[in-house]
Amino acid sequence: MLYEIVSWMNINGSAVTAIATVVLAIITGFYLMETRKQNSIAVRPYLQLELMPETTKEGRFLFLYVKNIGRGPLVGLMIKVLEPHGEFSKIILLAVGEQKRIQLDKEEKYQKRIEIIINIKYDDIYGKKYQDDFPLETHISDAIKIYREKDGKGLTKDE
């Protein structure tokens, strides 16, 4: 039995080599896809947003703090406050660990309660786009934190 297998492989050596090469190419392709997926996850940006009231010389204002807590830069960040403002804020690049502060409005406008919707859009360095809307409702004295889930299913909020 073993002799027959060895004889067949000697006669059909080039066919065995071709089959082994095709199998190896398929396995290498799967490893390449997995490596690319892991690399994109490893450098993916994650957003942390904090909505905080603060007192300045001009009065009490509402500030939105945006921080990239991921491992890669965040490109083309667009924050649109849909209600009650309708204003656009555009941040071109948010590097790893970098934080930006955006002034929304005077606190009195909200009458001790915040009810706004924030639309967030951004890209990672590979061009993958992320977008989501967040209705936020809380008392002025509370701080709201919004985090990006690590599993890639979109933005979520923790109150």
3-state SS, one letter per residue, for the chain: CHHHHHHHHHHCHHHHHHHHHHHHHHHHHHHHHHHHHHHHHHCCCCEEEEEEEEEECCEEEEEEEEEECCCCCEEEEEEEEEECCCEEEEEEEECCCCEEEEEEEEHHHHCCEEEEEEEEEEECCCCCEEEEEEEEEEECCCCEEEEECCCCCCEEEEC
139 or 115, which is more confident = 115
pTM comes to 0.53
Lowest mean pLDDT among 16-25, 95-104, 145-154: 145-154
**Three-point CA angle 43, 48, 50, nearest 5°:** 165
Lowest mean pLDDT among 4-13, 45-54, 139-148: 139-148
| pLDDT given for residue 35 in this prediction | 92
Q: Is the pLDDT of residue 75 over 90?
A: no
State the Cα–Cα distance between residues 29 and 35, nearest whole angstrom. 10
Q: Is the pLDDT of residue 5 over 70?
A: yes
pLDDT interval class at 29 (50, 70, 90): very high
Lowest mean pLDDT among 11-15, 27-31, 41-45: 41-45
Taking residues 56-70, what's their average pLDDT?
A: 75
The whole-chain average pLDDT of the chain stands at 72
pLDDT interval class at 44 (50, 70, 90): confident
